[in-house]
Amino acid sequence: MTRWIRCAALCLMAAVLAGGCGDSKKGKFTEEQMRKFPLANRYDLPPATGGMVMSLFSETITADEVLLAVEERIRPAASQMSQSEFIEKTRPLFRQTVRSKVADILLYEEARKKAPDNIDEALDKAVEQEIGRFVASYGNNYALAEATIRKMGMDWRTFRQYQKKMIMTQSYLSKTLDEKVRFTHSEMTAYYDAHRDELFCRSGTVEFYAIDILPKQLDAGLIGQGQTAQQAAMELAAALAARARAGEDFAELAKQYSHGPLAASGGKWLPVTLGAKALAKPYDVLETEAVKLQPGQVSDPIVSDDHIFVMKLIAKDMGGCKSFAEVQPMVEQQLLFQRRQKQYEDFVSKLVKQADFVEMERLAEFCAETAYERWKAS
């Protein structure tokens, strides 16, 4: 459902900017960037009888609303910890959830103050369009779409309200946060150097079949007169390699002659990441030898400890890193988005100062205590 809410935000930006705001500029953020802003999910739930609530302007944040937002993540912990341990571990999450919901209300209030007089019509139109698209995504099955909404703690009325508020807030943010910034070449190269291995490099992989022959387990009928088991195993390995190169099915040969644990599956190994030291001895030699082969090529016998291997390479990808020139636009976009995230957090931090910190803390504490009592036996 998040995807449709974000789509609604983008749709409204186009609608409002085209007709109601007197500004022909497009919204400043992509759908991906909007998704990363840590706006809270507000479900407009009614206050629970006997539950603690926090009032802010004309709205309330209920304990039930906060618990619903975090239940899936922390409910199992309540049955595994003592009350004091549970509260201590979950308190930061409850604080952040309450803060996010406070920020959501304050952002909406700011957006409403700055909105043009004729925005309601554009909002209603955008919301109805997204409702239609949302239902269509469930094959126009209205009941199925409604069931999904109810799982999120909403009905159609609150779903419309939620979308309307989120659309207005996102549109407001797109105009408020400044994007007029340019980064120097040194700033971008510094970011590239710091994050190259993580973001701009791809590990190589090899995939192969292998016949694993253990001389000590060699069938006595394969050992010729005057031969040692080692000599017979080497002779067998060379013969199997020749047969595979001549066109015989390598997997069938592995099933018949391999002593390894993968014989039943034709000796096929899962892809091995180069340089990750994924293979223990004596199998680590397979990674080294695989790099020397080309896809479809069969190796000569490979001796490692008490094993003699014959392998056939399926695929090889040596990986590598993209140069700064190749990823410069991506680096610039990432730096820009990081700046916007900081602007967003600074902006929200100032807004949240309008709220009563003590009341926020009391609600977070109450939610942690209530969560434990409700979920400790689950």
Q: Are residues 134 and 13 in the same domain?
A: yes
CB 25 within 8 A of CB 54: no
Distances (CA, A) of 310 to 8, 202, 268, 282: 58, 28, 12, 14
Structural domains of the chain, count: 2
Residue 309 domain-assigned? yes
Residue 194 domain-assigned? no
Q: Are residues 224 and 178 in the same domain?
A: no
Question: CA-CA distance, 109 to 58, in Å (whole number)?
Answer: 10
State CA 199 to chain mean position distance: 14
pLDDT confidence of residue 361: 95
Provide the domain limits for residue 82. Answer: 2-183+328-375
Q: What contacts 9, CB < 8 A, 6 or more positions away? A: 27, 34, 166, 167, 170, 171
Pairing of strands 307-317, 320-321: unpaired
Residue 70 domain-assigned? yes
State CA 193 to chain mean position distance: 24
Q: Are residues 39 and 158 in the same domain?
A: yes
Pick from 7, 18, 1: which is nearest to 127 by CA? 7
Residue 192 domain-assigned? no
The C-alpha angle with vertex 289 and arms to 286 and 292, in degrees rounded to 5, equals 150
Residue with token string 């205590």 = 369
pLDDT digits (tens, 9 = 90+) for 139-167: 999 999 999 998 887 899 989 988 888 88
Q: Are residues 314 and 332 in the same domain?
A: no
pLDDT digits (tens, 9 = 90+) for 314-346: 999 999 999 999 999 999 999 998 988 898 899
Q: Are residues 221 and 172 in the same domain?
A: no
Give the lowest-confidence range in 29-38, 209-218, 276-285.
Answer: 29-38
Residue 191 domain-assigned? no
pLDDT confidence of residue 19: 39
Indicate the burial class of 276 (C-beta count within 10 angstroms; 0-12, 13-18, 19 or more). exposed
Q: Are residues 107 and 172 in the same domain?
A: yes
Averaged pLDDT, 283-296: 95
Give the lowest-confidence range in 18-27, 192-201, 362-371.
Answer: 18-27
Please say if the pLDDT value at position 46 is more than 70. Answer: no
Answer with the one of 318, 344, 366 that is the final residue of a domain: 318
Q: Are residues 41 and 96 in the same domain?
A: yes
Residue 314 domain-assigned? yes
Q: Are residues 299 and 247 in the same domain?
A: yes
Residue 78 domain-assigned? yes
- Domain containing 285 — which CATH number? 3.10.50.40
What average pLDDT does the chain have? 85
pLDDT confidence of residue 2: 39
Residue 198 domain-assigned? no
Question: CA-CA distance, 120 to 127, in Å (whole number)?
Answer: 10
Q: Are residues 249 and 290 in the same domain?
A: yes
The pTM of this model reads: 0.55
Q: Are residues 153 and 214 in the same domain?
A: no
Averaged pLDDT, 108-137: 87
pLDDT confidence of residue 179: 65
Pick from 241, 244, 237, 266: which is nearest to 254 by CA? 266
pLDDT confidence of residue 173: 86
pLDDT digits (tens, 9 = 90+) for 348-368: 999 899 899 999 999 999 999
Answer with the one of 293, 318, 343 that is the final residue of a domain: 318
End-to-end CA distance of the chain: 28
Q: What contacts 236, CB < 8 A, 6 or more positions away? A: 213, 218, 222, 257
Q: Are residues 303 and 179 in the same domain?
A: no
Averaged pLDDT, 291-305: 95
Write down the H helix ranges in 2-59.
2-19, 31-36
Answer with the one of 296, 318, 340 that is the final residue of a domain: 318
Q: Are residues 275 and 128 in the same domain?
A: no
